[in-house]
Structure 1
Amino acid sequence: QLMYMQDFGTTVLVATPSYVLHLTEVMEKTGIRAEDLSLRIGLFGGEGHTPEMRSLIEQRLGIIDTQNYGLTEICGPGISYECTAFRGMHINEDYFYPEIIDPVSGEVLEAGEIGELVLTTLSKEGIPMLRYRTRDITRLQYEPCACGRTNVRMELVHGRSDDMMIIRGVNVFPSQIESILMTISGIGPHYQLVVTRESFMDRLEVQVELIDGGLLESYSQLEALTRQILNKIRSVLGIDVKVTLLSPQTIERTAGKARHVIDKRT
């Protein structure tokens, strides 16, 4: 992909955020600089994308990072898109009617409330979708956007109702853990959350890669970094977790959606 981008002078990159970060790792290994590419803007989607990850991508590639939203079941990318005002993703209302419902009761929520996004297709003839439950948690915004577009916007997805973990009675989304990890120096953006059940209690293990594998040789530094992560998660989310620090490149990279949650409960 990097060779093609150089040969063709690619200016726009469409991918999942985790794969973009993988490309930046390959660039570092092969000596390719951001200045060697012609990229100007990225259209990223398909998985969670925190503000911290956006900043990292923009820093590494020197591009404008925008998000788009789509569902394979409906049309793939193109349901909504982010403009450079960065105030949410504009929904293509000519084709999709959005609603926000309570993910438990199914009741439609008032404007401005956070809940599960439900979509009805307005133009599909072969396989129309009526009030399709996306499982994505967000909020609709109806006030005018600075860009001048008037269609309703959805906030960047807060998380998925089926990805939500309940740890010691606390609702936890992967995006919350990601936001915390991205604020801690010494660890990379690649992580996994392993959920197990011991003695009828759900437990969460946070596995995250180190930026420098040499840190594994220093017990005191590993212990200090582990404690920092534990304390940050406890202070923000109010839960205790197990933290495992991994060597760089331990977690499998994929061009598709990154698998952040591994549920080992039986």
Structure 2
Amino acid sequence: MNPRVALNDGNSIPQVGLGVWQTPPDETERAVTAALQSGYRHIDTAAAYQNEVETGRALASAGVPRDEVFLVTKLWNGDQGYDATLGAFEASLDRLGVDYLDLYLIHWPVPAKNAYVDTFKAFAHLRDQGRIRSIGVSNFEPEHLKILIDSTGIVPAVNQIELHPLLPQRELREVHTQLGIATEAWSPLGQGSLLADPVITEIAAAHGKTPAQVLIRWHIQLGNIVIPKSVNPERIASNFDVFDFELSEQDIASIASLENGTRLGPDPRTFNFTG
């Protein structure tokens, strides 16, 4: 049974979801359909992924009631700003074929643009209209969170960040705990780089599980929301089969030894791309 993580606004999110980052549009519908058939009820996309249409098609045809699926998308950097956000939100809803979102995220802070406060005010407006259930951010560092909260009085429900054993984000997770923000991990498997790591494969063998299942279980036991990505129906199902075992304290300590600060994606403090 997929646990739910309580959010600071009274809502809750299924802890394990399917991410469709870097999933080609022509493979997205099949992947989302496979996930829903495997029991997933949390799907994470973004305007920038250019697969919202296909995600929406899968949701429409899967036979799962809309209110049972926790649907997440993200506002692209070039659309930040109050009025632009409202327009981009409508465009995302149209592409997804839905009339509300469960969670809307600011994809990156884009410090040079300095528009994330106004963007979040637009998010709050949409939430107050009942068009978004929860509002959050992605890739925000502590200083961005402080400015956002000080300027709007609203604590984001979620911060979705790059997080895997190489980059466990201890300090940022501690900030989240202090503020009441749920931590969500993207690239939770280190973009596949950890699947052959001897530490991970040894733990997997001991539990009779795959390396991916061990990594997803590590996130679950840390309390992270986690969105592994795959286009293979068998792997999608396997990645969801993580609720029948538990990593030991020794397993967790062994995985902690892999930390080396490697960041696989852009640095949020300097990533200002809006194209």
- Fold-level similarity (TM above 0.5): no
TM-score (norm 2): 0.27
Q: Could you say which structure has the higher helix fraction? A: 2
More strand by share: 1
TM-score by length of 1: 0.27
